Amino acid sequence: MQPEFWHQRWADNQIGFHQQAPTPLLLKHWPALGVPAAARVFVPLAGKSLDMAWLAAQGHRVLGVELSQLAVEQFFAEHGLQPDIRESRYGRHYAAGDIELICGDAFGLDAELLRDCAAVFDRAALIALPPELRRRYAGELYAALPAGCRGLLVSLEYPQAERAGPPFSVPEDEVHDLFDADWRVELLDRRPIPPEHPGFVAGVSRLDTAVYALRRGRSPARS
């Protein structure tokens, strides 16, 4: 996926992936992770997600990264926030209160920037990427997160042959293939999304959403 694809999606307001409320699976499963209130939480490919505001409301410091400047500016405007803006080698940083958004390339981030991120929440990042970028994403960006980092990963599953992504189908076997080398991966929940749901992906015969708990460290062998 070229950056121009996402810039055009935002320019054309083709952002069906944006939710008008925090992710229900986040609200359900986040408390069980035991992330300390003041911890820094990383949100990759953040868009203008309301999940960031929810995480900040729990007392967390939020660090997001998003390619689209339009999305970043809309997030702060829609929350009535006037961010401080600065430049770094990672991109343009917008910060207000406990939320900082970097307008830049997620693949340009490194361990120095992410060293104090105690947690990660990934709802629409992994599923936005084609297979070759998913492997790079897990092998580079997630590899930059520190030991002990924990988080939630939300995925979609559908017959990939029925539709070209994004969003892409990322089944459980692929999640383990991508992350097992460095992360403990636990499936917490899987549920069908009914066709009448606003999040249903047009053109597929079935659609499930799955959420995984992640913790930095090798996964136990699966039977």
Dmax (CA) for the chain in angstroms is 51
**Nearest-10 crossing angle of helices 69-78, 3-11:** 40
Q: Is 183 annotated as a binding residue?
A: no
* End-to-end alpha carbon distance in the chain: 35
How many CB atoms are closer than 10 A to CB 221?
6
Q: Exposed e or buried b for every residue in 50-77, given b needs 16+ CB within 10 A?
A: bbbbbbbeeebbbbbbbbbbbbbebbbe
Tell me: is residue 123 an annotated ligand-binding position.
Answer: yes
Classified as helix, coil or strand, 184 is strand
Does 81 count as an annotated binding residue?
A: no
Find out whether 45 and 65 touch, Cβ atoms under 8 Å.
yes
66 labelled ligand-binding: yes
Q: Binding-site residues for S-adenosyl-L-methionine, please?
A: 10, 45, 66, 123
Q: Binding-site residues, please?
A: 10, 45, 66, 123
